[in-house]
Structure 1
Amino acid sequence: MVCFLRLSSAANYNIMQFGAKGDGVTDDTKVFERAWQELCNDVEPSSRLTIPMPNTFLVGPITFQGPCKSPLIHIQILGTIMAPQNPSSWNGCETGAWLLFYKVNGLFIDGGGTINGRGEAWWTKSSTYVHSIALHFESCNGLRLTKIKHRNSPRNHIGLNRCSYSTLSYLDIVAPANSPNTDGIDISLSTQVRVHHSIIRTEVIFIGSLGMNGQYNTVEGVKVRKCQFSGTTNGARIKTWQSSAVKVSDISYKIFVGTSLSRTAINFDCSNNVACTGILLDQINITSTVKGEYPTVYCNNAYGTSSFSSPTASCLLN
């Protein structure tokens, strides 16, 4: 029997109270499921679930299902949450995500701890093998994710889909250069999302993919500023399917400094059917990682302006 001591109407649940081992070897998935049910059913907005340090918790694929009874759900990660090492042990990962939060509004995750996807074993698998996103939020409005370290996801580190009014800040996301498709943050079908004060040492900041099977979508009001990229293939990217009907408009990139692995450092390859409009480049300074090579800009059906930028995007149509 597990007992909980409440000093007030709000509770500070500790995952160890539920029987977690936190030794990095014992599977604590079921314990996390029980703790989540307790937290999600608590009506007090000041209650929180703490994942303590210096423990490491081995957790398999899990869905944190909402909606919850409280308007604020607080999870404090101080220690490490670690994925199974062998992909074959990821049973029940039909969602394509290791840690999935679904329909949890008012979710607040912080603490300075680590989420380790242990993706090394996945990266050698064939492209037909379904690699999983480490941390995914589906229909979670009012999300706040801050001061968390993310390491070595099998695929994307963080995914947001159908999430509005969300803030991601002070994140530290790292995967080695040879890790395939380990995007830092993927955002789709979402509005009013802010990402700031974060270090992303993976592949890209990624919006998309959009327009699958010729569907009509829009990407608008995206503002990216004060970023530093080093040796990237794709730094800030908006991706759409070929022959799609996606309208990209009101996109601004300001104060970029960095280097590019590709000679084409800036690429606006827009649909021949639907133009990209309202593009703004301001104070861009991108150099090539290849000595003596000057980076270039490519534009196709793209309209906008460029100022104080190198390389100069003279191909943008006014």
Structure 2
Amino acid sequence: MEAWSDPKSPMWISFSNVVGLSIIGLGTINGGGSPFWEALHINKCDNLKINGITSIDSPRHHISINSCNGAAISQINLFAPEDSPNTDGIDLRDDCIAINTGSININITNINCGPGHGISVGSLGANGETATVSNVQVTHCTFNQTLNGARIKTWPGGQGYARNISFEDITLINSKNPIVIDQNYRDKGLLDGTEAIVKFCISILISFLCFALVNGQNYNVLNFGAKGDGQTDDSKAFVKTWSAACGGGEDIKTLLIPAGKTFLLQPIVFQGPCRSKSIKVQLDGIIVAPSNKEAWSNLKSQRWIGFSTVSGLTIVGSGTINGRAKVESFSTTYSEYFYYVYYVLLMKTARGGDDCIAINTGNFNINITRINCGPGHGISVGSLGADGEKAAVSNVQVTNCTFNQTTNGARIKTWPGGAGYARNIRFENITLIDVKNPIIINQQYIDKRRLNDAEDSAVAISNVIFVGFHGTTSSKDAITLDCSETTRCEGVVIDGINITMADGEKPKFACNNVDGNSDDTSLMRGCFKNV
């Protein structure tokens, strides 16, 4: 504390009155200090985005957000010692997230919370305060060994309201108080408060609760024979656990892979259909593949971990899947499958030598968000139409992703001679860090083994939107739209593009046989008819 220039300051790093602030990256904020200030304080910053950062050992609030409209916070990690005091601020040890007065239209999803006090609305109404909280939705969250789960707490003597609050699809793992509404919240210093008058029991919805370890709907792989020592083959135990969860009735089931354990798995398929209307895989531990080719029970298998014919499948958690796929051990395609599973499960970081995610034929209604990709070839739709294949891909949305030193960013690639369609595809809010080819549509995709493929047909590409790309490129041609003469690309939209080269120059585009529009007349002039 003696080393601080202003030990009386209530915060350490502060942003104030900044519109359009984005804080992203894979770095760490290490509070490591006194018990008196907040680590990161953000005040009156509209359209705020915080993505990917880690905060550890904050002495008080990890992240404090005040009077910010349009804030989006995603994919952050907060760590504090289990025995720490009130380390609030999308909080650990105390509330994981605390929603205080003035908060409106709050959406919280896919949070793994524990230990701590759960997710709370409040406390509200202290010292006669007039509270206003409305339109709060908390979905797809897990409370692991928390003191509370879903909680609303108000002080006696307060005023105002807390209304239109929904907690939905919540998994509980040994939580002491899963659901709490406390309109008589008091601390030991204010035991003589007057009657509570915060009117908050209005339109509160709590539904689809999964009480793990309470109602028998949790299936822990350790209870079915898994060792979790990283050496013993736990495949049979996982199959037994899956069979019990999948066939165990119509209620929501949770297959739990606990933290602190490492599970060795051979190639495995979790087969449906299941009797339960939905099934959740809670991955908090580590899953590893055999360490070398000789240890694989089925080296010819084209997949390591698979799910087949399972409706309502959800895969969440803070765990890790380690494919151990070395370049000298497997083909590029085989290695790509390992990493593909990793992306889908963790939705965090993807590193590989080919596409970070490849969306091939037969995929519909795909939502990809919060991916940090690099190095590699970015996120691709395709390749489609090889060997005259009839492709079908539609309704793909890729949002809030980062491409870091990738060869490509957002890409659609189809072969000459193909058929079918790729349509209704949207890439939005994409961050680029030294990406060679940020935006590509390539309807002339050919590898060196097949240079003479005829272009008598092509996969039809339509209704494709690229919006909100920002960052840097290492190429002069940041946007390449190379479409077919036989089947032009239609309905392509390019808006909100802010891409610069390392020297600060604005890059160019290359465009063939494409119909669409753009809000950037200087960048896309000559590409579209209206520009």
Considering the TM-score relative to the shorter chain, is it more than 0.5? yes
Counterpart of 1:306?
518
Counterpart of 1:197?
370
Question: Do the aligned partners of 2:361 and 2:393 also contact (CA within 8 Å) in 1?
Answer: no
Deviation of 1:278 (Å) = 0.3
Match of 1:231 among 399, 405, 416: 405
Change (3 A) 1:209 1:78: same
Output the amino acid matched with 1:173: T
Counterpart of 1:91?
297
Contiguous gaps of at least 5 residues in structure 1: 1-5, 135-152, 160-167
Output the amino acid matched with 1:181: D
Question: Do the aligned partners of 2:348 and 2:370 also contact (CA within 8 Å) in 1?
Answer: no
Query: Does residue 386 of structure 2 align to residue 174 of structure 1?
Result: no
Query: Does residue 80 of structure 2 align to residue 80 of structure 1?
Result: no
Counterpart of 1:138?
none
Output the amino acid matched with 1:302: V
Q: Report the Cα distance in structure 2 between the residues aligned to 1:126 and 1:98, rounded to whole angstroms.
A: 12
Question: Do the aligned partners of 2:336 and 2:355 also contact (CA within 8 Å) in 1?
Answer: no
Question: Do the aligned partners of 1:219 and 1:246 also contact (CA within 8 Å) in 2?
Answer: no
Deviations 1:245-298 (A, max 9, x none): 211100001101123344432221222221111000001122335x47753322
Q: How does 1:118-267 map to 2 (within 5 A)?
A: 118-119=324-325, 121=326, 123-124=327-328, 130-131=334-335, 133-134=337-338, 153=339, 156-157=340-341, 171-175=347-351, 179-181=352-354, 183-184=356-357, 186-203=359-376, 204-244=378-418, 245-267=458-480
Counterpart of 1:150?
none
Output the amino acid matched with 2:496: Q
Question: Do the aligned partners of 2:367 and 2:397 also contact (CA within 8 Å) in 1?
Answer: no
Deviations 1:54-98 (A, max 9, x none): 111111211111111111011100111112221343333545211
TM-score normalized by the length of structure 2: 0.48
Change (3 A) 1:17 1:202: farther
Deviation of 1:101 (Å) = 0.6
Counterpart of 2:316?
110
Deviation of 1:46 (Å) = 2.6
Q: Report the Cα distance in structure 2 between the residues aligned to 1:252 and 1:264, rounded to whole angstroms.
A: 18
**Secondary structure in structure 2 of the residue aligned to 1:133:** helix
Question: Do the aligned partners of 2:318 and 2:346 also contact (CA within 8 Å) in 1?
Answer: no
Match of 1:271 among 461, 484, 489: 484
Question: Do the aligned partners of 1:225 and 1:254 also contact (CA within 8 Å) in 2?
Answer: no
Q: Which moved more, 1:219-228 or 1:82-91?
A: 219-228
Q: Report the Cα distance in structure 1 between the residues aligned to 2:292 and 2:472, rounded to whole angstroms.
A: 35
Contiguous gaps of at least 5 residues in structure 2: 1-211, 419-457
Higher RCO (Cα < 8 Å, 6 or more apart): 1
Counterpart of 2:237?
31
Change (3 A) 1:10 1:21: closer
Number of aligned residue pairs: 278
Question: Do the aligned partners of 1:230 and 1:260 also contact (CA within 8 Å) in 2?
Answer: no
Q: Which moved more, 1:84-93 or 1:240-249?
A: 84-93
Deviations 1:140-181 (A, max 9, x none): xxxxxxxxxxxxx3xx3468xxxxxxxx79711232xxx422
Q: Report the Cα distance in structure 1 between the residues aligned to 2:252 and 2:275, rounded to whole angstroms.
A: 12
Q: Report the Cα distance in structure 2 between the residues aligned to 1:46 and 1:65, rounded to whole angstroms.
A: 17
What is the alpha-carbon root mean square deviation over aligned residues?
A: 2.9
**Secondary structure in structure 1 of the residue aligned to 2:515:** strand
TM-score normalized by the length of structure 1: 0.76
Question: Do the aligned partners of 1:243 and 1:271 also contact (CA within 8 Å) in 2?
Answer: no
Change (3 A) 1:212 1:107: same
**Secondary structure in structure 2 of the residue aligned to 1:49:** strand
Q: Report the Cα distance in structure 2 between the residues aligned to 1:45 and 1:201, rounded to whole angstroms.
A: 40
**Secondary structure in structure 2 of the residue aligned to 1:213:** helix
Q: Report the Cα distance in structure 2 between the residues aligned to 1:7 and 1:307, rounded to whole angstroms.
A: 54
